[in-house]
């Protein structure tokens, strides 16, 4: 059995985009997780979802790993991006588009533009 840090490292290495969240991308269990998963789903981003409610070691481990006290947490190419507020800001500013483009992550540009139009 691997420890939480090793499990997190392996998950981040195996997937371009990972969202550590409460619940799953199909059934989020908190509003913040729902918002980030909703943005990624709407933008057509393929991502791995890790339900921290299913494993207490991962729930605490991801907070220790990133030195960030809350969930959800988004990782792109193994790099910690941020939580709900940061992902929301990056989506609205276009920074998330740039991040995905620079890292070769596929997403729907029109969907991203629609999010910005709806929040203008």
Binding-site positions for [2Fe-2S] cluster read 30
Binding residues, by number, are 30
Cα separation of 104 and 97, whole Å?
A: 10
Spatial contact of 72 and 83, defined as CB atoms under 8 Å apart: yes
- The residue ranges of DSSP E strands in 44-95, in sequence order, are 48-51, 73-76, 79-82
CA of 10: how far to CAs of 2, 6, 16, 65, 70, in Å?
A: 10, 6, 11, 13, 21
């Amino acid at each position: 059995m691997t420890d939480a840090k090793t499990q997190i490292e392996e998950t981040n290495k195996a997937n371009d985009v990972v969202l550590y969240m409460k619940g799953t991308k199909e059934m989020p269990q908190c509003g913040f997780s729902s918002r980030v998963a909703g943005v990624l789903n709407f933008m057509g981003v393929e991502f791995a979802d890790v339900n921290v409610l299913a494993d207490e070691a991962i729930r605490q481990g991801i907070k220790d790993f990133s030195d960030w006290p809350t969930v959800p947490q988004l990782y792109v190419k193994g790099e910690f991006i941020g939580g709900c507020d940061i992902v929301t800001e990056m989506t609205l500013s276009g920074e998330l588009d740039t991040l995905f483009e620079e890292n070769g992550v596929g997403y729907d540009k029109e969907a991203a533009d629609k999010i910005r139009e709806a929040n203008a």
